[in-house]
Amino acid sequence: MTQLGNPPNMGLCIACFYRDIAGAIGFHRALVVQYLRPEIMGIVLGSFITSIILREFKPRGGSSTIIRFLLGLFMMVGALVFLGCPTRDIIRIAGGDLNAAIGLLGLIFGILVGLIFLKKGYNLGRSSKTSSLSGWSIPSIMIFLSLLAVIKPDFIFSSKSGPGAMYAPLIISILAGLLIGFIGQRSRMCFAGAWRDIFLVKDFYLFSGVFAFFAGVLVTNIVFDYFQSGFYHVGFENQPIAHSNHIWNFAGMILVGLSATLLGGCPFRQTILSGEGDSDAGVTVIGMIAGAGISHNFLLASSPKGISMLGPISVILGIIFCLTVAFIMSRDNL
């Protein structure tokens, strides 16, 4: 997708794409990151269609709704301090960005902290069967956003420069999203769950998918770089849409890994689940969109120039919130 117009090292970044969508619908006014990313709509609808066809669409929810919303919000805050979700972290590493390797270490550390609480009985409560209307909510919203992406009404914002102005053709983005949604629904791919399963039950199934994803992106970058330089560059400096503050690259992804573990899945997995009728994941998605709006309205998000003044404070507060939730929900389930 990068070769077709998406920002460099951002062929698929769930957090970045939700950030752009939040800007497009007016949740923030950062002019360079506003665009209705069709890939997100395609992923949700691909998961939705696949689950309907295979009779795996199961409307469910009601598990600690507000807590999930806030965990999703803070997961987005951590991702935007780092400048990418776990999916983009792998894409950045495959493009030679060593800052992303620091972020990956932070992600794994956050997951390991989360595992401590999982072993102590942490959970957010059992989901229960809900009405079909609840299960259709997020897919319906995505259908509506897809129509807006096609019609392009004046009230939808769109960047004239920056990452928001870089995108692949609409139809290709939607089709790619549908394919990714199908693959994600069938494979249960999770870029945080892969590491969780290795350390918790020594299961490498999800990790094999993450490794295959990394290898595919790496090979593609090297091949394209052979014909046109710029697709593969090893180092810390001059990486596209990235910064080299190692402390907050690490800490931002600690927050992402910890919150993803407490939620039961990374941003990509939450997006897939929301298409299957899981309204708990749907609430998390809404929390991520709200987190994107807050991050840019309150100047928490980083930029290629570096971290913001309030970014580190927001990461610390997010980690404290996650640890508080983990402690209380572990104690209450003993």
- pLDDT value for 24: 97
DSSP state of 7: P
DSSP state of 334: -
- pLDDT digit string (tens) for 302-334? 999 999 999 999 999 999 999 999 999 997 665
Between CA 264 and CA 75 the distance in angstroms is 12
Beta partners for residue 303, in sequence order: 306
Residue type, 124: L
Start-to-end CA distance of the chain, whole Å, equals: 47
- pLDDT value for 333: 62
- pLDDT value for 334: 53
DSSP-derived 3-state class of residue 206: helix
Between CA 255 and CA 207 the distance in angstroms is 20
Tokens coding 111: 């997951």
The residue whose two tokens read 């941003």 is 267
- pLDDT value for 326: 96
Q: Let me know if 223 is exposed, middle or buried by CB neighbors in 10 A (0-12, 13-18, 19+).
A: exposed
What H or E segment, with its residue span, contains residue 128? strand 128-129
- pLDDT value for 235: 93
Full DSSP string of 302-329: -BTTB--SSHHHHHHHHHHHHHHHHHHH
- pLDDT value for 150: 95
Domain ranges, residue 11? 2-331
Beta partners for residue 278, in sequence order: 60
Q: What is the tally of structural domains in the chain?
A: 1
Tokens coding 288: 């991520």
Q: At what angle do helices 267-275 and 170-187 cross, to 10 degrees?
A: 90
Residues (pLDDT < 50) of the chain are: none
Does the model's pTM come out above 0.75?
Answer: yes
Q: At what angle do helices 86-94 and 246-263 cross, to 10 degrees?
A: 140
Tell me if 243 sits within 8 A of 305, measured CB to CB: yes
